[in-house]
Structure 1
Amino acid sequence: MSKKALVTFVGKQDPWNKAGKPGPLLTLLDGRKGFSHVFLVYTKTSHESMQEKAESVAREIKKRYSVRVTVLELELKSPADHEEVYKKTRGLFSAHKGVFDKYDLFINLTSGTPQMHIALFLLAASGEIKATMLYQPDPVHSPAIKEINPWQTDMPEILPRLPSGSPEPTVESTDLKEIIIELGIVGGSKSIKEALRKAARYANTDLPVLILGPSGTGKELFANLIHKLSKRRDGRFIPFNCAALTETIAESELFGYKKGAFTGAVTDRDGLFRQADGGTLFLDEVGELSPLVQAKLLRVLETGAFTPVGGNREERVDVRLIAATNRDLDEMVNEGRFREDLYYRLNVLQIQLPPLRDRREDIPELARHILTRFCKESGVEKEFTEEALRALMRYHWPGNVRQLRTVVWRLAVETDGKKIDLSDIVLPFQEVHNVTTLPIEPYNGFNLEETVKTLEKYYYEKALEISGGNMSKAARLLGVSPQAVSQRLKTNKTGRKRRR
């Protein structure tokens, strides 16, 4: 079950009303349990800021409930301006979409001004934010809470309007197809099509993008795709891996340094932000950055300015930032290992790339594509048999597309003749610790009987290995008779010697 989160403006009657009783927000939280996260939105104008009140509300919520609280600022010229409140509220939800999408979202229509309630209602009713609306018809005299699901009622449908001149991009567009082929992004699965659709749409903006997925799934390829489809395509695309670098090296690489900044700095050097000016900077494994570098990165995102190592003047750049990680940044934020404010700035737009085992239907096309490219570059002729491709589909690919590419290259070199057959394929069998490593659903070419046999073979061999070849101990581990182990040993021809 998904976790629940509440998004609410902070009102004048929060946390306590004029009578000293719990205000609308506390009343709602008393009546509706089960929220794991509350996002408090306070407004800031030229003559008034609700920040102090928001912090007071946050303290009271943490005291009364076991819930995480995040305070967000919404800067306005006038909280009574319907158009401004709507646009700014829409921008806030867009900026934090990656975070809000992790939850079953609820929005509070009781705290705040009528303009804020209208903005939230329109955004939810149009489907721009998928959320259930909560309100209290009479918060002063009754704690009763009602909810509105506008897409499930007889209310008129409100549709968001696409900006003029910005039609919905499609995976079938000619430009996108050509770049996909050029980059070698292959696959027709639903998850890849969705990632491509998002990449095409996100290319139309300069907002930061966070690409999530295990190592080897093609995060850099998708970052490059966004760049090549964007207005920055004539600028540079610079990838940088943040992992395995010391804080000092990462800082000087990203922001550059001045002559004399440290031993060996005999001349000024531009960092990657300066080199990517007018283009796109891709930061892979962004979760590995130190707190110091995280702080400087946040400043660049907020102001477009940074100071080189050893420098005393800020420099400004115009750079589109795309970040990627295989880590759970949300969990790192909870543990205090990644800045929450930086997380929100990076996670404006999000693309999730699946592991290869979750899109097995793409494996034959991928394997053929990799082999065709290799043969073209090497001047050889090779092709897979159907049996070989089915074997590749059965494997779990912990290294994802990167591992598949390595295996295909090896097969192309080591296999005699033009056909790569089932007998040519030797793949390590992953140790199965729990059911999450198994295929979650059948796929084209899936064979239940063969899969069960493979798992049985693995567990019998593993039990014999753990027991040192003692069949009686192996049988006890597996919950079967020693005769069953003996028979399986003969069937599998494991070649293990029985302990006397």
Structure 2
Amino acid sequence: MSRRALLVEDDNAIATVITAGLEGEGFSVDVEDSVAGRDTALAGGRYDVMLTDVMLTDGDGIETLGKVRDAFPELPIIILSAQNTLDTAVRAIDRGAFEYFPKPFDLEEVVRAARQAADSAAQGSAEASEQGDGLPLIGRSKPMQDVYRLITRVLHNDLSVLVLGESGTGKELVAEAIHELGGRKTGPFVAVNTAAIPRELIESELFGHEKGAFTGATSRNIGKFEEANGGTLFLDEIGDMPAEAQTRLLRALQSGRIRRVGGSEEIAVDVRIIAATNRDLAPLIDDGTFREDLYYRLNVVPIKLPPLREREGDVEPLARHFLSRATQDGLPRRGLSGGAARLLEQQSWRGNVRELQNLVYRAALLAREDVIDAATIANVLDDRPDSGAAGEGQEGKIGEAVTQWLSTQRFGDGELYHAALAELERPVFCHALRRTAGNQFKAAQMLGINRNTLRKRLADLGIDPEDFSPG
């Protein structure tokens, strides 16, 4: 007997593609395009899995899942959504979805999930919970969708999470999201930057100390573990933790008990651990500065945050979000012009989201009009520490950046020179066009090259001068 799938999708093209994929996997597929059609189909037959879009012709596919869950608690549900936000992913999982896929999705993954759902054990009824506004992560790019899906999978368990990513990518925001949206949200969230604590004080900071434990310990002090009891302890920059503190941390994680410095009593603590680092821990393990057993204890679920330069399309919504936040911090209310948004999208953002936020705040402060234009953004960009002419040590920084970029690439024979040259040329040409508002004649003069040469190189690099014009 073939397995039956109910597909609720109001886009005929998408429905056709998914239906073909499911039928190729042996499913018999019924298709509906509305909440009402879904309910009628469910009432009239038994299904092994349901796949549903979020926004349907007559309602929200997620918000109405409650009654489906009540009537069919064993039916696995897969959510398909073009509303690719963390809120959508969390609502889908909290309302009992077996899996969540943002659009555009990989058809093979959707079919695989449908097969697994149909073959899985009966699903327990899901507890629906209302989610408020102000979720901490913003972005609809494909890399961020992968992050959202991982977050939803660790919300209702206590597995240790290791958040990886460059400085400024928002690692603490991920930890906050897991805490605030998960099962420990009623408990405390305690964050500690292990790199900012002196080596001689880190054990006291984490585990507390008794009076007289060391010079200056004039009273008993509870540590971060006790503060976080019943909640979440976020250990930032874990790669910089001293070796002796690593040993005590490992013991605490293994036993669920801690001992204050200078004390003899063991204290039971119930804490979920989320750690984060911007460093590659593998070389630290190899040279003995980071314990391998601690790494495996922390790295149960790794979540890698993408740098902002890899999050295509996320810069503008982030910038607009920060402009909204800026008004809460006493800055004037500002809009963002299309030209300003395009200019922001063209930057590499070495400081990631944190750098973008700081720049947007400065632009909101310095702008003379209610809408921030491209010229204001260009001026603020030029004020960045690394935006001026090459001074002492600047050549070394550029060389270091090129070396780092080359180490991440793979080239075939005869490709390296031209690929590296294009990577170096692009920011130079963009800078010239930005400073001349897209005027190719003036940009060629600034660069000291022939205008025809400039045009050819711009075409080769896929750079459109119109993106830099005030219009």
Shorter-chain TM band: 0.5 to 0.7
Q: For the residues of structure 2 that align with 1:487 and 1:380, how far apart are their CA atoms?
A: 36
Separation in 2, partners of 1:326, 1:166 = 39
Matching residue of 2:120: 161
* CA deviation after TM superposition for structure 1 residue 457, in Å: 7.8
Shift of residue 365 of structure 1?
Answer: 0.3
Q: Which residue of 2 aligns with 1:382?
A: 334
CA distance in 2, matches of 1:362, 1:278: 35
The equivalences for 1:316-355 within 5 A come to 316-355=268-307
Matched letter for residue 365 of structure 1: P
The answer as to 2:354 corresponding to 1:402 is yes
Q: CA deviation at 1:163?
A: 7.5
Q: Which runs of 5+ in 1 are unaligned?
A: 1-150, 152-156, 441-448, 460-484, 493-500
In structure 2, do the counterparts of structure 1 residues 365 and 351 end up closer, same or farther at CA, with 3 Å as the change threshold? same
* Equivalent of 1:434 in 387, 402, 409: 402
Q: Partners of 2:281 and 2:196 in 1: how far apart?
A: 18
Aligned to 1:314, which of 266, 270, 287?
266
- 1: CA distance, partners of 2:284 / 2:330: 44
**Aligned position for 1:274:** 226
Whole-angstrom distance in 2 between the partners of 1:348 and 1:454: 40
The one-letter amino acid of 2:200's match is: T
In structure 1, the residue matched to 2:171 is 219
CA distance 1:234–1:327, shift in 2 (3 Å): same
* Structure 1 segment 448-467 matched on structure 2, within 5 A: 452=425, 454-456=427-429
Shift of 1:453: 5.8
Give the distance between the partners of 2:125 and 2:277, measured in 1 at CA.
Answer: 30
Quote the offset at 1:380 in angstroms. Answer: 2.7
In structure 1, what is the Cα distance between the partners aligned to 2:260 and 2:335?
52
Structure 2 counterpart SS, 1:338 = coil
Question: How far, CA to CA, are the matches of 2:405 and 2:122 in structure 1?
Answer: 43
Please say which structure displays the higher CA radius of gyration. Answer: 1
1:447-497 deviations in Å (ceiling 9; x for gaps): xx99956425879xxxxxxxxxxxxxxxxxxxxxxxxx99834999xxxxx
Flag the 1:312–1:225 CA change in 2: closer, same or farther, 3 A: same
Instruction: Rate the CA distance shift 1:487–1:278 in 2: closer, same or farther, 3 A.
Output: closer
* Alpha-carbon shift at residue 197 of structure 1 (Å): 1.6
Q: How does 1:77-92 map to 2 (within 5 A)?
A: none
Aligned residue in 1 for 2:8: none
1:227-249 per-position Cα deviation (integer Å, ceiling 9, x unaligned): 11222111100000011322221
Which of 347, 369, 391 aligns to 1:417? It is 369
Give, in angstroms, the shift of residue 363 of structure 1. Answer: 0.3
Corresponding residue number in structure 1 for 2:208: 256
Separation of aligned partners in 2, 1:457 and 1:377: 33
1:141-181 C-alpha deviation (Å, 9 max, x unpaired): xxxxxxxxxx9xxxxx87773674276x9xxx9745x3xx4
Aligned-pair CA distance for 1:436: 6.2
SS for the counterpart of 1:281 is strand
Distance in 2 separating the partners of 1:378 and 1:486: 43
CA contact (8 A) 2:332 2:365 kept: no
Aligned to 1:228: 180
Unaligned runs of 5+ in 2: 1-108, 110-114, 388-396, 410-421, 433-443, 452-471
Instruction: Kindly indicate whether the alpha-carbon contact (under 8 Å) linking 1:183 and 1:221 is maintained by their aligned counterparts in 2.
Output: no
Aligned partner of 2:197 in structure 1 is: 245
Instruction: Write out per-residue CA displacement over residues 304-347 of structure 1, whole angstroms, 9 at most, x where no aligned residue.
Output: 01211111222111110100000111221122110000000000
Moved more, 191-200 or 205-214: 191-200
2-side partners of 1:295 and 1:204: how far apart? 28
Is the Cα contact below 8 Å between 2:136 and 2:177 reproduced in 1?
no
Is 1:363 the counterpart of 2:315? The answer is yes
Amino acid at match of 2:206: L
Q: TM-score, normalised by structure 1?
A: 0.54
Q: 1:248 to 1:388 in 2, by over 3 A?
A: same
Contact 1:291/1:339 (<8 A) preserved: yes
SS in 2 for 1:243: helix
Q: Does the 8 A contact of 2:309 with 2:352 survive in 1?
A: yes
Judge conservation of contact 2:193–2:236 (CA < 8 Å) in 1.
Answer: yes
Contact 1:274 1:317 in 2 (8 A): yes
RMSD: 3.3
Asked if structure 2 preserves the Cα contact closer than 8 Å seen for 1:294 and 1:339, the reply is yes
Distance 1:404 1:458, change over 3 A: closer
User: CA–CA distance in 2 between the matches of 1:457 and 1:186?
Assistant: 27
Match of residue 70 from structure 1: none
Aligned to 2:274, the other structure's residue is in SS state strand
CA distance in 2 between counterparts of 1:279 and 1:291 reads 26
Are 2:191 and 2:236, in contact at CA under 8 Å, matched by a contact in 1? yes
Distance 1:305 1:184, change over 3 A: closer
